[in-house]
Each structure stands twice: as C-alpha cells, then as structure tokens.
Structure 1
C-alpha cells in the first residue's frame, strides 16, 4: 500500500503540564504535580503521530533557537519526521502551552504565543506534499499561500479570512464546531450538517469519549468510541487527525478512515502527554 508524504503546517511549542486534583478557583490556589516540560503543538503532535503510525511526515513550522526549540528538533529526529522545513529562529522565544490535567483525564490549555514564530506565507510556500494538514488558526494569508495539494485537510477554528469551502476536508471537535457555527453548543452530528451547509465538501467532528461524526456529499454517519479509562486527553485529537490523514492518503474511504482514527484517539487518551508513543 502506497503512502503519500503528509506535510503538516502550523505551530510547534513546548508543553508545560501539571496534573491537578481540581482547577484553581477565584482567590484559591490549586496544588499540582511537579511541572513537566515536553515537546508539543498541534502541528508538531500531528506530524509525530503520522510518523509513529508508519507514515512519511514533514513538519513546516518555526520555533525559537532556544532550549525548547532544540528539544523540538531532537524529538522530530527521534520520531523520524522530515524536519528540513522546521526552522529555529534566533533571538526569539519558543511558544508554550500551559496544560492542566484533571483526574478524569481532561486537559485545559492556555497558549503562550510567540508571534515571531507564527507561520508566514513564505513558510507556507515551502509546503510540498500531495496531502497537507493545515492548522487554520494562523494568519489567513499564510493558509492561502499553501500550494494546492491533492488533499487539503484543515483543522481548528479558522482565523478571519480563511475560506473553509476551499478545503477538501475540515476536522474539528464539537466545541470548535459550535464556535464556527455561532451556536452555544452543537453535538457532533448536528455540527456536521451545519458545516456541510457552509459549502465544505467533507467534514469530521470529534466528540471525545462519544466518538466522531462525519459527512460528505454521499452521506453522513457516526462512529462510537470504545469505553476506555482516560489518563490524558491533551493529544488525542492530534492522534486522531494523524491517523485519519494517513488512511486517506492511502485511498481508504472516509467512513473507514474515521473508524480507524477513533481507535487511535482512544489509544492516545490512555497515555500521558500529547505525543503518540505507542
């Protein structure tokens, strides 16, 4: 089975993770575990997961030429990701995600952005692959500068000016879908219908422990997730998307690819950290 190269375009950062018995409330401190610093970022996680699942992955992203940035570069080598388009920028800091993980395995993330490492149109022009996964929360002009691949998959809430209808496939969780649709809440199946109405050719909406829903011109469907004990959900969506992109690159139909991706996502929540390691 031929696997095309998958390029992932977006952000790479350090994850600063603390496990807490509960989240802090106003005026009160929550005491947590020792801080753990690991490599992360949506695009970074997805590229590493593609490689871990046996695919050929390229990461197009930037980080600072500092301790955290060099940690990211070493990890790409460890996972076998093509890092020729991963750039360390001198004199700027690497971004960081501050992650709180509660006992039920849910993760709460605050992103400390480093604007100087944000992807640019010139970064996008380096993307060379038949299958591209693009994080849409970057500047619209950067997304628009990606050379048109055979399959363009978008992820996350888009920045202003991004044309979702230009995608081949849009993948979001149900909370992101609700934000895009301007509703207080949208379950996955309803969100699929709403997003398809925006002119997007194909849509997948994930719903955590409830699995995922999908839709395309030929119809819609849903895949339940197996019941597992969640340890850390911080990288599950990235593992799901990596598995989905990899199967689609191999010519697998969308319903089958979603079913396989749900299993990978369920596997990911059973391990700590945002990187798929087994």
Structure 2
C-alpha cells in the first residue's frame, strides 16, 4: 500500500469546558492532540491506511504526548524530530453554540517552525505515495523551506501532492501574507481542498464559478470544494464535476472535521484497487464514492468533541453510512 505523508504542525488543542463563551470567559480546558497535518495522518491511519507524519516537536511533555498519540493512532512517527530550541505549539480554543470555533495560538516560535529542509530525507517517497500539507507552516520560517524540499522530492518520486490551505489568520502578520504564501504553493499541488469559508479570501473572486476556475493553476488537476453539512463538490481540470450531499448530525465540535474529510479522500485514493499512477484516471464513480465516504467521516468527527480522539474508524463509517442510507 502507498503511504500518505503529512507535513507541518502537531500541537496541543486546549478545548473549553463549555460552548458559547469567549476565550477570556472560559475557566477550564481539556488537553487534546491537534494540528491539521497530524489530524490528517491520524485520520488515514485510524481507517486502516498507511500514514506517516513529518514534523518537529519540542523536547517537552507535550511533545511526548503528541508522539504517543500519533503512534497509538497507527501513524509512522519515525520522521518526527525533537528539539530543545522551542516548545511544542499550543492552541486555546473557544467554541460557539453551533460547535464552530476560534483559536488563540502560542508559538513564537514553536518547535514545528524549526523543521529544516536538510532534515527532509531524499529517499522517503516513492511513486504512488501521497504528500499532504496545509498553510499554517508556510510562514517565513525554516519549516516553509522544509515543505518546499519535501514537495520537490515527492514530485520527483512520482507522488501525488495534496494541499488544504486551512486558513488560520491569527498566525499571520497580516491577511495578505497568508494569501501570498497560499498562492506560492498552490501551483505545486495536484489536489486542492478548499472550504466555502476560504474560497473568496484565497481567490479574490466572489463568484463561485470564477473562484473555482482560478484555482486551476500550475499542476492543479482537482479541486475539492467543501460546504460543511451541505456536502462537497469535486471539480477536475478535464471538466468533470461531481457533487455529494452532506450528512446532518448534532454538532459537538467542528475541530478536525475538515481534516477527517480530506483524510477520508486520501484514504480512498490510497486504497484504490489499481495503483494511483495518473490522477486523470479517476472516474465519476470513484470520485462520488470518495466524497460520500469523506462526508461521512467529517460528520462523525463533528458529532464528537476533540480532533484526533474524534476521528472515526472504518467500521464506524460503514455503520454510519448504513444507518443513513438514502
């Protein structure tokens, strides 16, 4: 089986004890493992896929906790480095009544930002592998150039590159810096996953069709547009367009739902009956099944608190889909 590699941040999410309160009003939190790339690796591994996480953590108790959590989920942690130069990143979360959230980050710098390009192994990737990344660690720090090196080596090996911008503006000096970094890395990707909340910010277009079309730059072959409970649409450069409705659930916490979604997509691509050699070979049926599966994974994750702990297994997704069959 091919490997899904993810690169970037793993951090500690402190989840509040109650919804509907501003961060300054929250009195207690529960510690949870998080960070979008780490979540995606765990999502794939918990489904039974082969996943590996590339990143750097502090030589501290939080770093120990994250390594153990990743490994317990089935993720290959042999490419997780440790440092005493900075601490593991922390994120304090406040939850709105609908389960949506706001973040306050503590990373100035954090250990993940100190991953260097010379720490990326030249023999890690092989043809058919998938490399997934997000935008949080595309800030002006060593980790940005580690991303460039990993993407370059993965592409040379024949791997598929997946990008979920996963915009977190509080981590950037200004919105334009974030947008500029996303556009710098967008053309290097084969698959782009983008949410309805991010589309106009990233593209600068208010019209949905124009915005989606503008994402097909460089090597981008597929754009997956997500709308939360409303479902998702998969657009291909060759004109193929496939939409699948979402699943209605009682939302506990949306943290990790988008990561579970793209993890489900990558798992479907990884476990295809035939090795994924050409993205153009994806059929309408294959794409539709990937979206239905990913929508179910995201819905289950949103119905539970936390991120990694909320990610479903393959058996849970199968049971959920059977119970909600239309």
- Shared fold (TM-score, shorter chain, > 0.5): yes
Instruction: Tell me which stretches of 4 or more aligned residues in structure 1 moved more than 6 Å.
Output: none
The unaligned stretches of length 5 or more in structure 2 are 139-143, 168-178, 273-281, 313-326
SS of the equivalent of 1:75 reads: helix
CA contact (8 A) 2:51 2:76 kept: yes
What is the aligned partner in structure 2 of residue 169 from structure 1? Answer: 191
Please list, as runs of the form range in 1=range in 2, the aligned pairs for 1:130-169 lying within 5 A after superposition. 130-139=129-138, 140-146=144-150, 147=153, 148=155, 149-156=158-165, 157=167, 159=181, 162-169=184-191
The unaligned stretches of length 5 or more in structure 1 are none
- Determine if the alignment matches structure 1 residue 227 to structure 2 residue 222: no
Post-superposition Cα deviations, 1:199-226, rounded to whole Å, max 9, x if no partner, equal: 6211012111111122002412322101
SS of the equivalent of 1:153 reads: strand
- Taking structure 1 as the reference length, what is the TM-score of the superposition? 0.87
Pick the structure with more strand per residue: 1
* More moved, 256-265 vs 135-144: 135-144
SS of the equivalent of 1:262 reads: helix
SS of the equivalent of 2:220 reads: coil
CA contact (8 A) 2:195 2:226 kept: yes
Q: CA RMSD in A?
A: 2.4
SS of the equivalent of 2:265 reads: helix
Instruction: State the distance in 2 between where 1:15 and 1:9 align.
Output: 18
- Taking structure 2 as the reference length, what is the TM-score of the superposition? 0.75
Kindly tell me the number of residue pairs found equivalent between the two proteins: 270
* More moved, 68-77 vs 214-223: 214-223
SS of the equivalent of 1:196 reads: coil
What is the aligned partner in structure 2 of residue 78 from structure 1? Answer: 72
Please list, as runs of the form range in 1=range in 2, the aligned pairs for 1:66-105 lying within 5 A after superposition. 66-105=60-99
SS of the equivalent of 1:138 reads: helix
CA contact (8 A) 2:101 2:254 kept: yes
